[in-house]
Amino acid sequence: MKLTADTPSRAIWWIVLVAVLVLLINVARRAPEISELLAGGGGDDLMRLQQVRDWLGGQSWFDTTQYRILPPEGVSIHWSRYVDLGIAAFLVPASWFLSQTQAEHFAVILWPTVLGSLAVVMIGFANNRLFGPAAAVGALVTFLTWSKLGGEFAAGRIDHHNIQILCATVAFYLSVLPGRRGRLGVMAGATTAFSLAIGLEMLPFFAALWGMMVLRHAFAEDGIDRWLIGFCAAFAVAAPLLLAGQTPISGWWINHCDVMAPPLLALAGIGIVATLVPVVFARKLPHPVARIGVALALTGAGIWLAAPLLSPCLAGPYAATTPEVRLMIETRINEALSAGTLLYALPEVLMRVLMPALVIGLLALGAAWILRHRLPQPLRIVLIQSFVLLLIGFGFSLVQIRAANLMTPALPLLAGFLVHAFTTIPRTHRLRAPAALLLVLAIPAVHEAAAREISTPRAPTASAGPGLTTARNFCRNTTVMAEIASLPPSTVFASGNIGPAILAFTPHAITSAWYHRSTTAFLNGIKAFEDRAYLEEALARSRADYLVVCVGLAEERFVDGLADDGWPDWLVEETGDRKAVRVFRIDQAALGAVVPQ
């Protein structure tokens, strides 16, 4: 049982081609509905589209403030311009031949499709290189049928998670594939820096991957020293350049915890020193315990020295928010819910996201144990690393379901190995049929189907992200947006669930969006529709012109409940012939008598 030849066989070319065609067919099926998919999809996708529009409309490359949220000051979105550049690379040429709307549709379809195709190529060829063409099939089936992975590359998914997953996948395979270790390390270091410049969501994955490579060097695996030198050198060069390329000079020294900034660079610097010292002094540190001990000691000393810089970030990316907002994120935003909460509230989501990882991981572990004496040392290392990364991602997912992205690079490889293990069973063996049944049960599509069977329609809570609600973003469609767009250009006060859609599909400004850098915008989207006093203060503070609520949702019931204490004279209904929303004009003069300015 050996690694396959360096030259890809003809079979893998056909396998990858078929997988890309399946991806394109899925895109073609969704393309005619792209407007509705955008309106009802993730709010982050809509915000990304608006950010691209603003940049192409003249907003500075270094200014990612969304000025139509809580105007005139706006809200810092803090997202990377590098993703905007990728989307614009499709949008701008398309606008030479198509209308602006058609060009945008072209871009939001093609951008994730290209990223998905690159992921297919990487996963297919890498698994073929490690385990053969059967493994490539298993890995690609997992990619295409697991909504947490392939779904991130669907038409309209343009936020940033897909490119982060692609970068993590590339770095992962660059760490396990045979080849020129130094060059592989350089590519992995640059890819890691680019992913972290886009966002820090995959930071635990990259930290774990880096740590695994340090351990592999400690146990004297051939070539890992060159890999680590290349990785550290590339990261040390690329990370500051990428930071400078998207951050104004005035922001280089601001200690943000949610983007690539001095705290992250300091942490990376500590890691580089702790990595390279055992590599440089490898001859004087021949024993694994000595190498690991030196790395840990240097890491501990570095963290102690950098504590003033790093300690404010111990609360995570939401360190700058209030405890009230952090609690809302943890308990009200679906993608931030724990597995325990989801088991009670949305068991179908838990099944679709975590069950494929659990089943594939356990079956692959069993197969690895059975084949442990037949696997060569390099493949045993590959599998151990994959299991560790999967376990870390799974553990984080139990705390916050969106951390399932951390598992996405390793799971296709384990699925591929599982199929490879199946091919080692003789055709006449009595276990072949049960093993085939287990393979079928491991396909994520089976879990998706089971999840649909147990799902029940329900009104959505504060939701974000693909596939994380059963009632898919009710009140977010183009018909509803057209009703809201018919209002005179104004500032609209609405829940955070429809705020991004109003921003993207109408000319209006909004007052609420679930972005943690603005406590006010966050609370306006939730608390304002639960507390009358806060609503009055928020309406006065935002100087909003209209209050808009969706018919049939909790926001409408709350507004109707205002009549219990006497209908406020500062709220005048002007719904007219609108069917899906109710519109109330806000009399700021009358409101000023209730809430002093």
Assigned domain for 337 exists: yes
Whether 215 and 82 share a structural domain: yes
Q: What is the mean pLDDT of residues 137-152?
A: 95
Whether 239 and 334 share a structural domain: no
Whether 294 and 332 share a structural domain: no
- pLDDT of 1 > 90? The answer is no
**What pLDDT is stored for residue 5 in this prediction?**
55
Whether 44 and 183 share a structural domain: yes
Domain boundary among 281, 298, 315: 315
Looking at mean pLDDT, say which of 452-456, 481-485, 589-593 comes out highest: 481-485
- pLDDT of 465 > 60? The answer is no
Residue 125 makes CB contacts below 8 A (sequence gap 6+) with 8, 12, 16, 136
Whether 39 and 173 share a structural domain: yes
**What pLDDT is stored for residue 518 in this prediction?**
87
Assigned domain for 472 exists: no
- pLDDT of 462 > 60? The answer is no
Give residue-wise pLDDT tens across range 379-437.
Answer: 999 999 999 999 999 999 999 999 999 999 999 999 999 999 999 999 888 888 999 99
Q: What 8-state DSSP symbol labels residue 69?
A: B
**Cis ω for the linkage preceding 72 (within 30 of 0):** yes
Residue 316's region, left for phi above 0, alpha for psi from -120 to 50, else beta, is: left
Q: What is the mean pLDDT of residues 69-79?
A: 92
Whether 354 and 429 share a structural domain: yes
- pLDDT of 316 > 90? The answer is no
Q: What is the mean pLDDT of residues 332-341?
A: 88
Whether 311 and 215 share a structural domain: yes
Average pLDDT, the chain: 92
- pLDDT of 41 > 90? The answer is no
Whether 516 and 406 share a structural domain: no
Assigned domain for 503 exists: yes
> Which residues lie across from 583 on neighbouring strands?
548
Domain boundary among 315, 342, 360: 315
Whether 263 and 344 share a structural domain: no
Domain boundary among 418, 440, 465: 465
Assigned domain for 5 exists: no
Question: How far is residue 548's CA from residue 561's CA, in Å, rounded to a whole number?
Answer: 15
Which tokens is 245 given? 């390329």
Domain with 497 in it: 478-594
Assigned domain for 470 exists: no
**What pLDDT is stored for residue 17 in this prediction?**
97
Give residue-wise pLDDT tens across range 504-558.
Answer: 999 999 999 888 788 999 999 999 999 999 999 999 999 999 999 999 999 999 9
**What pLDDT is stored for residue 327 in this prediction?**
84
Whether 290 and 161 share a structural domain: yes
- Burial of 414 by CB count in 10 Å (0-12 exposed, 13-18 middle, 19+ buried)? buried
Q: Are 224 and 216 contacting, i.e. CB atoms less than 8 angstroms apart?
A: yes
Whether 427 and 563 share a structural domain: no
> Which position has the token pair 């829940």?
495
Percent of the chain with pLDDT over 70: 95
* Model confidence band, residue 318 (pLDDT cutoffs 50, 70, 90): confident
Whether 277 and 334 share a structural domain: no
Which tokens is 125 given? 């060829």
- pLDDT of 130 > 70? The answer is yes
Which tokens is 446 given? 């089976």
Assigned domain for 256 exists: yes
Domains in the chain, number? 3
Give residue-wise pLDDT tens across range 344-393.
Answer: 888 888 999 999 999 999 999 999 999 999 999 999 999 999 999 999 99
Q: What is the mean pLDDT of residues 108-127?
A: 97
Indicate the SS3 state at residue 283: helix
Give alpha helix (H) positions in 424-531: 432-442, 444-454, 478-485, 499-505, 519-526
Which tokens is 483 given? 């009703």
Assigned domain for 70 exists: yes
Assigned domain for 473 exists: no
From the centroid of its chain, how far is CA 14? Answer: 30
Which tokens is 114 given? 């290209």
Percent of the chain with pLDDT over 90: 80
The pTM is what? 0.93
* Identity of the residue numbered 513: A
**What pLDDT is stored for residue 458 in this prediction?**
47
**What pLDDT is stored for residue 579 in this prediction?**
92
Q: Are 19 and 124 contacting, i.e. CB atoms less than 8 angstroms apart?
A: yes
